[in-house]
Amino acid sequence: MKAAVVVFPSINRERDMARTLRLVSGQEPTMVWHADTSLPAGTDLVVIPGGFSYGDYLRCGAIAARAPIMDAVRSHAGRGGLVLGVCNGFQILCEAGLLPGVLMRNAALKFICRDVYLRVEHSDTPVTPGYNAGQGIRV
């Protein structure tokens, strides 16, 4: 699988993501700068890692969602290409209109770190083949 990792100013997890993708796939992912306007030919997976794009001074991911590379990411997703947003990357995808809904501040206005339990709905997706439909997982 050919992966591309999008790099934004102030994101701090792009190298960790690239290392993980290399370990999992055996292939070196391409690092794509936020000001680029296209993805490498043959890209299967676009990953937007966590960190704090542009320092998150406005709204988490709001500035990054308008970066030039995001048009190519939207086109990739529109063709059925895989896109993964992790942490702040998820927020960028929401702000870019690639995921429905909006994110809201939590009631305490503080970072919350706790286990979350998810249920696998389908085991035939690119990221769930090791699970069974209906299985609960801890994240």
pLDDT mean for each 10 residues of the chain (139 residues): 92 91 93 97 95 69 91 97 92 92 81 91 89 95
Q: Report residue 42 as tokens.
A: 């043959």
Predicted local distance difference test score (pLDDT) of residue 71: 97
Query: Could you tell me if 31 and 66 are in contact, meaning their C-beta atoms sit under 8 angstroms apart?
Result: no
Q: Taking the CA of residue 127 as centre, how many other CA atoms within 13 Å lie in the half-sphere pointing to its CB?
A: 8
DSSP 108: T
**Which residues are registered as beta bridge partners of 138?**
117
Predicted local distance difference test score (pLDDT) of residue 58: 67
Predicted local distance difference test score (pLDDT) of residue 102: 78
Q: Is residue 79 helix, strand or coil?
A: coil
Predicted local distance difference test score (pLDDT) of residue 35: 96
In order, the DSSP letters of 3-40 are EEEEE-TT---HHHHHHHHHHHHSSPPEEEETT---PP
Residue type (1 letter), 91: Q
Query: Could you tell me if 38 and 72 are in contact, meaning their C-beta atoms sit under 8 angstroms apart?
Result: yes
pTM: 0.85
Q: Which residue has the tokens 């998820």?
A: 90
